[in-house]
Amino acid sequence: MAVYMTKQRRLLMDFFENHPDRLFSAGEIADNLTRENISISAVYRNLNALLEKGLIDCVTKDGVREKYYRFLISEECRSSIHLTCTRCNRSFHLDADKTDSIVKSALKNSGFSIDTSKSVLYGRCGKCK
């Protein structure tokens, strides 16, 4: 299903395309788009529309009320478990074979089916350790 592309939505999509594998709060996105004169309410409106279409994902962090958004356009992103650094907010994709192993193990051992596009493990990346 196509997404109606307003100027604001196109700018938001361009922002996500230029910052793959990163988590951003709505405030951080609005701050990055201040030159484009996009209000925080327009950012929230467009984030909700992109969430409904499955183009982005929304995650929360322990101890923080704010929501963070990540671009999900690539198949790798949809089919991988994400590893997200709690310090720099970068996300990495777990190797396909390791993701597959975890998914199969969870299904076999507990009957639990993992939605990889929404699976996030938090920790520290190699640069932030």
Q: What residue ranges do the domains of the chain occupy?
A: 1-73, 74-129
Separation between Cα atoms, residue 61 and residue 75, nearest integer Å: 24
72 vs 50, which has greater pLDDT? 50
Separation between Cα atoms, residue 9 and residue 78, nearest integer Å: 21
Is pLDDT at 117 greater than 80 in this prediction? no
Joined together, the tokens standing for residue 22 give: 């990163």
Report the run of H or E that residue 26 belongs to, with start and end: helix 26-32
Q: Any idea which fold 1-73 has?
A: Arc Repressor Mutant, subunit A (1.10.10)
Residue with tokens 């076999």: 108
Mean pLDDT of the region 29-44: 92
Mean pLDDT of the region 17-26: 86
Residue-by-residue DSSP string for 38-52: --HHHHHHHHHHHHH
67 vs 62, which has greater pLDDT? 67
Joined together, the tokens standing for residue 59 give: 């995650």
Architecture of the domain delimited by 74-129? 2-Layer Sandwich (3.30)
Separation between Cα atoms, residue 18 and residue 67, nearest integer Å: 20
Model confidence pTM above 0.85 = no
Q: What's the pLDDT tens digit per position in 65-114? A: 889 898 876 666 667 888 888 888 888 888 889 999 999 999 999 999 99
CA distances to 9, 29, 71 from 14, rounded to whole Å, are: 8, 11, 10
